[in-house]
Amino acid sequence: MTTTLIDRIGLLYTGDPEREELADAALVVEDGLVAWTGPAAQAPDADRRVDAGGRAVIPGFVDSHAHLVFAGDRTAEFQARMSGEPYTGGGIRTTVAATRGASDAELAARASGLVREMLAQGTTTVEIKSGYGLSVEDERRSLEIASGLTQETTFLGAHVVPAGTDADSYVRLVAGDMLRACAPHARWVDVFCERGAFDGDQTREILTAGLNTGLGARVHANQLTEGPGVRIACELGAASADHCTHLTDADVDALASSGTVATLLPGAEFSTRSPYPDARRLIDAGATVALATDCNPGSSYTSSMAFCVALAVREMRMTPLEAVRAATYGGARALRRTDVGWLKAGARADLVVLDAPSYVHLAYRPGVPLVHQVFRAGLLLEEDAQNPSSVVVL
């Protein structure tokens, strides 16, 4: 049993609503868990001491929405869109063709590369969806690859209807054989509920089948237009309704009065040059808000939670505190996790030492690499990487 004291923390953002911020703080890690937080002057002894040198410390980011199992490249689509063409979601099929043609090893190498890229930027928990296979075997292997990288795996067979397939028979396949093949590798089931993807009835059918198999539900809802996605998510007790860009008053009320987290993905609006979701309206109504990257090759190819925090502050009128809370505590709520996303005694010691005196710098200094050190379960990333038995499981 070894203990580590992280001392001389200029500002500690704990994420614990009972004591969210602490100046001149220290934190003790024991066996990979947070054992103590408090004023540096009262810090107990420990086996080793890490001097934070007055820097800020935050919980590791919890990126609760990412699509990392894919092949191919959509630079040209982005370039075209930035030249004035609208985003319609049709480009997903381009990635599906490339993904189906890639080997397991190629898919795993790309996904683990992105997870390492995220880790280096302070993301210590990430959710990974399937959704670029869209056949029983390609969805199954996507989830098998994802489950080697994270426990937060999501079956998104209902991403789009694959080309040349009838929508009703595809929904039956997703809710039947595909779900049965994928469920052993998945914790969640998700549906892209949107005009051009899946309508309300189809969404309900697939989510209900997933829930009956023991998976939790999450929904891509109200991204491009108003629609039934958010209401279905709240009705079915989904952990999260993701995007939430086009909401009616009834949608906002439903989110505020249910346990469903509103997960906002400003990287998608940034990369598709679209209007941002109204975070203020959701927060002021009392909804729990999460921020995530939506990292995917089409509509948001960023792996940076810090970038999303900066966008949320500048473009969505979230305060820096609300944004960092949404990127840590909010993400954990969206995954129904209480062991990550905050630094209270008993939580996993996943934390980021920022090269800045305050988390505010994440938005104040956008685009600047501010990550000084990342600890995962109490181990510095570099120490973790030297452990040959360590696989990237977040």
Phi, psi angle pair for 41, to nearest 5°: -65, -20
Q: Would you give the binding string for Zn ion spanning residues 130-169, x where CB under 5 A is met? A: ----------------------------------------
* Residue 180, number of CB atoms within 10 A of its CB: 13
CA atoms within 13 A on the CB side of 112: 14
For position 190 contacting Zn ion by CB under 5 A, the verdict is: no
Pairwise CA distance, residues 108 & 134, whole Å: 17
Is 42 flagged in the annotation as binding? Answer: no
What separation in angstroms does the CA of 41 have from each of 16, 46, 50, 59? 21, 14, 15, 21
Instruction: Fill in the amino acid letter for 203.
Output: T
CB of 67 to Zn ion, least distance (A): 6
Name the one range near Zn ion by CB under 5 A: 82-90, 208-216, 289-297, 382-390: 289-297
Is 246 flagged in the annotation as binding? Answer: no
Is 223 flagged in the annotation as binding? Answer: yes
Q: Residue 362 in contact with residue 310, Cβ under 8 Å?
A: yes
Name the one range near Zn ion by CB under 5 A: 69-77, 210-218, 292-300, 369-377: 292-300
CB of 8 to Zn ion, least distance (A): 40
CB of 223 to Zn ion, least distance (A): 8
CB of 210 to Zn ion, least distance (A): 16
Is 296 flagged in the annotation as binding? Answer: yes
Pairwise CA distance, residues 289 & 282, whole Å: 7
Name the one range near Zn ion by CB under 5 A: 165-173, 210-218, 291-299, 366-374: 291-299
CB of 283 to Zn ion, least distance (A): 22
Is 276 flagged in the annotation as binding? Answer: no
CB of 294 to Zn ion, least distance (A): 5
Is 67 flagged in the annotation as binding? Answer: yes
The residue among 27 and 265 lying less far from Zn ion, judged by its C-beta, is 265
CA atoms within 13 A on the CB side of 198: 31
Per CB under 5 A, contacts with Zn ion among 327-356 are: none
Please name the residues in contact with 390: beta carbons below 8 A apart, sequence gap of 6 or more: 384
The residue among 294 and 350 lying less far from Zn ion, judged by its C-beta, is 294
The residues facing 6 across adjacent strands are 27, 50
Q: Are strands 128-129 and 371-376 parallel, antiparallel or unpaired?
A: unpaired
Residue of closest CB approach to Zn ion: 294
Is 243 flagged in the annotation as binding? Answer: no
The 3-state DSSP class for residue 128 equals strand
Give the N- to C-terminal CA distance of the chain in Å, as an integer. 22
For position 294 contacting Zn ion by CB under 5 A, the verdict is: yes
CB of 66 to Zn ion, least distance (A): 8
Pairwise CA distance, residues 315 & 309, whole Å: 10
The residue among 70 and 329 lying less far from Zn ion, judged by its C-beta, is 70
Q: Would you give the binding string for Zn ion spanning residues 245-284, x where CB under 5 A is met? A: ----------------------------------------
Q: In degrees to the nearest 10, what's the CA dihedral of 247, 249, 254, 255?
A: 50
The 3-state DSSP class for residue 24 equals strand
Is 294 flagged in the annotation as binding? Answer: yes
Rg over CA atoms, the chain: 20
Is 159 flagged in the annotation as binding? Answer: yes
Pairwise CA distance, residues 323 & 290, whole Å: 8
Is 298 flagged in the annotation as binding? Answer: yes
Our CA angle for 215, 339, 368, nearest 5°, is 105
Binders of Zn ion: how many residues, by CB under 5 A? 1
For position 77 contacting Zn ion by CB under 5 A, the verdict is: no
CB of 299 to Zn ion, least distance (A): 8
Q: Which residues line the annotated binding site for Zn(2+)?
A: 65, 67, 220, 294
Annotated binding site: 65, 67, 74, 132, 159, 220, 223, 294, 296, 298-299
Binding site feature residues for Fe(3+): 65, 67, 220, 294
Site residues, Zn ion (CB under 5 A): 294
